[in-house]
Amino acid sequence: MLTGKQRAFLRSLAQKEEAILYIGKAGLTEPVIAQAKEALAARELIKGRVQENCPYTAAEAQRMLCEACGAEGVQIIGKVFVLYKSRPDGARIQLPKD
């Protein structure tokens, strides 16, 4: 579980990132979930976007991806969401301690 300080730190890092995960009219398919897992394993912090014709809101998509990937939701702004998952073999992103 992320603390408020850690969440704020991750939001500041995500601000500079571009969305790399797009969810379209097909919704959350297996390839989209696999792409999210691969991206989280490589980057730890990813930004996604829900397209206009997607059947889910950004909050719904974020919640479902968090469950499917074992990640934590960091932020939702409009149609953009941010996910974080620390690597088990050593985190690249060093979270602040409370």
- Write down the domain spans for the chain: 4-84
User: Is the domain covering 4-84 a CATH 3.40.190.10 domain?
Assistant: no
Interval 2-19 mean pLDDT: 94
Q: Is the dihedral of CA 78, 23, 83, 12 positive or negative?
A: negative
Which of 60-68's residues contact partners 24+ apart within 8 Å by CB, and which partners?
61/23, 61/28, 64/28, 65/28, 65/33, 65/36, 68/28, 68/33, 68/36, 68/37
In this prediction the pTM is 0.92
Q: With 80 as the cut, is the pLDDT of residue 93 above it? A: yes
Q: Summarize pLDDT for 19-42 with one digit per residue, the tens.
A: 999 999 999 999 999 999 999 999
Residue 40 in tokens: 């989280």
| Phi, psi at 45, each rounded to 5° | -125, 120
